[in-house]
Amino acid sequence: MRCPICNKCFSEGDSDAVAPFCSERCREIDAKRWFCEEYPIFTPNVDQIELDNAEGRYSDETDDDSDYN
């Protein structure tokens, strides 16, 4: 398996491995990136949501058993 931080190949049985990272150091680097908001989280913009609502893709009705388009 490859570490998503340093790209090093490692086995889950390695003494330093903290899956999915090769070491505690790489795990901490990843945590810091999350805490500092360095990873983007993509969400639809408001205009796209309004467009979807206008096209009937989203519904506030809970008693409708139809699937979303």
pLDDT per residue over 10-30, tens digit each?
988 888 888 899 999 999 999
CA–CA distances in Å: residue 25 to residues 2, 36, 69 = 15, 16, 44
**Residue written as token pair 């990272």:** 21
Where do the domains of the chain lie? 1-58
CATH, domain range 1-58:
3.30.50
Query: Does the model's pTM come out above 0.75?
Result: no
Strand partners of residue 9:
2
Specify whether the CB–CB gap between 58 and 49 falls below 8 A: yes
Q: Identify which has the larger pLDDT, 23 or 60.
A: 23
pLDDT at 18: 85
- Burial of 66 (C-beta count, 10 Å sphere; 0-12/13-18/19+): exposed
